[in-house]
Chain A
């Protein structure tokens, strides 16, 4: 069995992605968790390139490891954290049961996918990827695209209204 370069790239990217996820679960400081997850996001961008989705890879790096991580870091800095996230009361049993449940979920789905193969030839999506994506977006998916612009506008205006510090009704209900 020869190991192709694609397989090697996939294995290393998958390893980085999973290690980033495990760091998210195991580190104690909140900032370290978010920075650990940046590795996962960049590795997922590499996986997109392997799957011939170059435009999505660039968008992934821009949005996830750029914008969303920075927003999360701002959210961390604007709030006060008692670091060393302490275990809640009697959380041991709950964590073990949740771990078993997630493990059972993963095993059930792995049984479904472990020898899945459609036998179809992969499409030539890497040739002029951005052009294909743009043509599809502006011909077949025009209405969802416009709806998405409305959704983004409403969400961002809503975010500003929610987080605005209105001076007159200072909420001191603790």
Chain B
């Protein structure tokens, strides 16, 4: 067996996911919320790659899945930034608690 156990990688991914979750829930700035979501997706990718090496059936499939997750994350960031720019043009704000048009 190798030097680093599986649970160490999973624990690192868990810590990064918790940091991303806390940032996404507490920050007011929309860009920081978006990038916190990216951090959570990265933590999930670490889990996928870890299981593709150490899991029940070690194979390359986990890495293929991680590639797909990265592509979806890139598309999500592009659309998110576009929505942010168009909202900023209309409302002149980037704070997430002032984007409440659907409430009124």
Contacts and interface: CB of A to CB of B under 8 A. Distances in A.
Interface residues of A, number: 87
Interface residues of B, number: 76
B60 to A, nearest CB: 5
A110 B14 contact: yes
Contacts of A113: 7, 10-11, 14
A105 B94 CA distance: 29
Interface in B14-56: 14-16, 18-23, 25-29, 31-32, 34-36, 38-39, 42, 45-46, 49-50, 52-56
A40 B16 CA distance: 9
B39 A53 contact: no
Interface class of chain B by DSSP: helix
Interface of A: 4, 6-7, 10, 14, 17-18, 21-22, 24-25, 30, 33-34, 37, 40-41, 44, 47-48, 50-53, 55-56, 59-60, 63-64, 67-68, 71-72, 74-76, 78-81, 85, 88, 91, 94-95, 98-99, 102-103, 105-106, 109-110, 113-118, 120-123, 125, 129, 132-133, 136-137, 140-141, 144, 148, 151-152, 155-156, 158-160, 162-163, 165, 171, 173-174
